[in-house]
Amino acid sequence: MYQALSRISKTYFPKQQHRLFKLFFNLSPMYRRTTGRVVKVERDFSSVEVKIPLSYKNKNYVGTIFGGSLFAATDPIYMVQLIQILGKDYVVWDKSSMVKFKRPANSDAFAAFAFTEDEISKLKADISEKKEVDLIKPVLLKSKDGKLFCEIEKVIYVADKQFYKEKKARKQ
């Protein structure tokens, strides 16, 4: 369903695709349950910002944001962001994550996800050479005044689509 909505937005609303991405993400039942909200998406998808408000929906026993909400609200962003940036010639999968809680999230939490042009160029060059790579990207969840609540390290698998299809066929 989400890929179909993405194709429709690319076809009929190419200049508004980043806004539709934000809208679809925030309306998605899968994402709504995390309590996170996508608050900003750059037109070229190079930057996405997320807010996880402290609310009765995600408070844990001691009144801070439940760690699962912090992680879940950040989990899909890099993968979907890269799919939008790289396009249909690549396969992108979340591979693993490591979460390090630094202090209780006793206020709203914010996270920024960014890819520079240099990172994308290097990633494409690496995939052209190696056919598949594991990209490691950090996510920092902070308060509005910059207090660090949590560090997440995301490992994202990215491959040339044709290579991936051939690799998958060999395994079967």
pLDDT at 13 over 90: no
Collapsing DSSP to helix, strand or coil, 132 comes out as: strand
Q: Is 89 exposed, middle or buried (0-12, 13-18, 19+ CB in 10 A)?
A: exposed
What angle do the packed helices 117-130 and 77-86 form, to 10 degrees? 80
Share the mean pLDDT of the chain: 91
Residue 23 has a pLDDT of 86
Residue 14 has a pLDDT of 60
Task: Indicate the pLDDT class of residue 25, thresholds 50, 70 and 90.
Answer: confident
Pull the structure tokens for residue 21.
């991405």
Residue 7 has a pLDDT of 61
pLDDT at 10 over 70: no
